[in-house]
Amino acid sequence: MIQITNEDCMDLMARYPDKFFQLAIVDPPYGIGVNHNMGRRRGDEPSPYKKIKWDSTPPDKKFFNELERVSQYRIIFGANHFISRMPYDSPCWIVWDKLFSEDLSFASAELAWTNFPKVTKQIHLSSSQPDRIHPTQKPIRLYKKLLSMYAEPGWRILDTHIGSGSIALACHDLGFDLVGCEIDSEYFSAAMERIKTYQLQGQLFNSENIQIAGGGRSRRPIPMRAA
């Protein structure tokens, strides 16, 4: 089951008991004031993304405390930008090498903090994506790699900042249950359209196994009907 809602992540997590999710993979705002034009070169077409307002500060400690409460293991992207908010030191970081071939304004690598009792690992994977709908969108293949490396069959997955929906596509393809949310209604709608397009392209999204809920106060998931 894949369930995605349009709401604040704190509201979502409050509905679940302690350690309900075996793994949370989250990519929250880094608080670095990311620009919607970043990565573009002079002469490029105008940015297709709306002006970003949500990256002025990272989540506060209440978010990380609640995330720790509802999940057993956590992978948190961008934690190098807010390391003081992590609950403790960790020997297990993930280094995503984006394989940039030239100097762009995007970071050439990203770091993710984890609480796994393992060693630091590198993932070498291009960030290039033909269907980019979000300025900080991560590839489906990256999420598949993370799930293959760190999740076990039958685990429930949580994502508090769904963004473009890449993790939903990865969880479906690998057979993981996912609960996630996106507070921005425009990105939520765009992610749902991306999921529907993925379905139409023959990626076998089963409409009985996907639930979405629109509206910030909605609590009852609405099954997505096949096109």
Sheet of 2-5: strands edge to edge? 121-124, 93-97, 109-114, 71-77, 21-26, 156-159, 177-181, 2-5, 210-213, 222-223
CATH homologous superfamily of domain 2-34+48-223? Vaccinia Virus protein VP39 (3.40.50.150)
pLDDT of residue 203: 46
Domain ranges of the chain: 2-34+48-223
pLDDT of residue 194: 87
pLDDT of residue 131: 75
pLDDT of residue 195: 81
pLDDT of residue 223: 35
Residues of the chain with pLDDT under 70: 32-56, 101-106, 202-227
